Amino acid sequence: MMPPDQLAKEPIGEHADPLPYIWFVFKVLRKDPLITLSTTNTSAVHLVEIICRVPELFSAREGLHLLRPTWHFEKTELEPFVASLKAAMAAVPGHSFMYLANYDHEANLVAVSGMAAITANDGLFADETKWFPGTEPIANFTQHTAVYNARFDAVKRHELAAQIEKLLLIYPWSITGETSAEHSQATVLLPKATFANHKMGGGIYELLEHETVNRLYGHANVGLALSAEEGAMRASTEYLLAGLPIVSTRSTGGRDRYYGLAFVRQVSDDPEAVGAAAIELSNARLDRNRIREEFLKISRFERHNFLGSMNRIGKSLLGRDGLFPDFEPFRGSMMRYLHLRSNIEIARESAKEG
């Protein structure tokens, strides 16, 4: 096991948290044999931070650690990622690592690191019990042509929604900590839009629970996905489960895995094209339950193949049959991005369990 002091980060300033400021998904899918799921960025395998701080969880001779991306690898120099992966592998000798890529070519890009990879898009992990149409309307919210659920960040290209008259915006906390400033800029860029988080908070930013976000989806006829590059974009899957057709630009990151469906339009990078497609799909008044059902049929197919392959791969790596009888351990597992401190607590609790 690699000693923690080799991995621990220096605190920044007198009152700084001694732990690195990392938010990621970490889940123990099962204990015996140990199988975990966690997210990485393109330069670091965050799991290593857990391994070095909760070694008792990883003490078994064998284990399998599934890693997932939060951003695509198309422009990545892999050296830092490979170094981080090697550190993780060295910390748990005998354990296996496998990458769950959002699309086939991403699996090829990551596999250059020497780690096997399979395609398992973010969309198949979405929890269909949390996102659905037919919710009760929210008071004082009118119907909108389109909704865009995206943090205020240049990569999200909110400016491409400028031609949509009735636009509903949902926006998580800013990752730079400048939510208020970014909101002010967005109100200049999109003065007619409804800013849901501020409206729900009576003028002050309010972080919305998924139940509220799902109800807000009911107040729009179309979902937007406007970044040129990112990861798989979870909101894109949420739109589909909530029964919204999608207008998207061409993108890198894997959200287009589900864009072969009839109710998705991929348009060029200009506000007129986005606006026209949004109007077209909005006016079509497509059956939300049918959109959801079409996506669920694909999702069931994806899960069938993911589970089958996971069980066969798991058997070849860990020698155990039927590791996952059903999809339950994976459902919704990509929703919980937590600070390293919380993930350490989860790991410690899991280690204590029998």
Partner 1 sequence: MTGTQEALVSTEHSAIWFDARLVSLRPLVTLSSLADDFTGIAELAYALPEIFDTQCGLHIVSNTWTIDKARATSIAEQVARVERILPGHHFLVLASDEEEQFHLTKAGLWTAIGNGSIFIDEKICRIFPPQIPGLGSFDAVYNARLMAYKRHELATAIPRLLLLHGHSFGDEGQRQREHVEKILPNAVSANHHLSPRKYQQVPTTIVPQVLAHAKCGLAFSKIEGVMKASVEYMLCGLPVVSTQSVGARARYYCFPFTSICEDNPEAVAVAVLEVAACQYDRTSIRMEIARVLAFDRHNFLLAVNDCNKKVTGHDRLFGTIAPFLGFKRGLRLAENVLQDLNAQAASLKETV
Residue 192, number of CB atoms within 10 A of its CB: 10
What does the DSSP assignment read for 74-99?
TT---HHHHHHHHHHHHHSTT-EEEE
Tokens describing residue 259: 């864009």
Binding range to partner 1, per CB under 8 A, among 104-112, 135-143, 162-170, 332-340: 104-112
Q: What is the nearest approach in angstroms of partner 1 to the Cβ of residue 298?
A: 5
**H or E element, residue 348:** helix 340-352
Of 202, 316, 319, 352, the residue at the interface with partner 1 (CB under 8 A) is 316
Q: What is the nearest approach in angstroms of partner 1 to the Cβ of residue 259?
A: 8
Is residue 265 within 8 A of residue 246, CB to CB? The reply is: yes
Q: Give the strand order in the sheet containing 63-69.
A: 26-30, 34-40, 63-69, 96-101, 116-119
- The verdict on 65 binding partner 1 (CB under 8 A) reads no
Is the Cβ of residue 216 or residue 318 nearer to partner 1 in the bound state? 318
The label of the residue with tokens 């339009």 reads 265
- The verdict on 210 binding partner 1 (CB under 8 A) reads no
- The verdict on 298 binding partner 1 (CB under 8 A) reads yes
Binding range to partner 1, per CB under 8 A, among 145-153, 205-213, 218-226, 255-263: 255-263
Is the Cβ of residue 50 or residue 334 nearer to partner 1 in the bound state? 334
Q: Give the strand order in the sheet containing 246-249.
A: 194-195, 167-170, 146-149, 223-225, 246-249, 264-267
Is the Cβ of residue 157 or residue 257 nearer to partner 1 in the bound state? 257
- The verdict on 86 binding partner 1 (CB under 8 A) reads no
Q: What is the nearest approach in angstroms of partner 1 to the Cβ of residue 91?
A: 21
Helix residue spans in 261-339 (DSSP H): 271-284, 288-318
Q: What is the nearest approach in angstroms of partner 1 to the Cβ of residue 115?
A: 8
What does the DSSP assignment read for 170-230?
E-PPPTTS-HHHHHHHHHHHSTTSEEHHHHHTTTS--PPPHHHHHHHHTTBS-EEE--SB-
Of 105, 130, 320, 348, the residue at the interface with partner 1 (CB under 8 A) is 105
- The verdict on 89 binding partner 1 (CB under 8 A) reads no
How far is residue 259's CA from residue 314's CA, in Å, rounded to a whole number?
30
What does the DSSP assignment read for 24-57?
E-EEEEETTTEEEEEEE-SS-BTHHHHHHH-GGG
Of 256, 278, 279, 334, the residue at the interface with partner 1 (CB under 8 A) is 256
Tokens describing residue 46: 């965050």
Of 300, 328, 341, 345, the residue at the interface with partner 1 (CB under 8 A) is 300
- The verdict on 305 binding partner 1 (CB under 8 A) reads yes
- The verdict on 350 binding partner 1 (CB under 8 A) reads no
- The verdict on 312 binding partner 1 (CB under 8 A) reads yes
Binding range to partner 1, per CB under 8 A, among 213-221, 223-231, 236-244, 297-305: 297-305
Q: What is the largest CA-CA distance in the chain?
A: 61
Q: What is the nearest approach in angstroms of partner 1 to the Cβ of residue 31?
A: 23
Q: What is the nearest approach in angstroms of partner 1 to the Cβ of residue 118?
A: 4
- The verdict on 304 binding partner 1 (CB under 8 A) reads yes
The label of the residue with tokens 């830092």 reads 80
Residues that bind partner 1 (CB under 8 A): 98, 103-105, 107-108, 111-112, 114, 116-120, 256-257, 259-260, 294, 297-298, 300-301, 304-306, 308-309, 312-313, 316
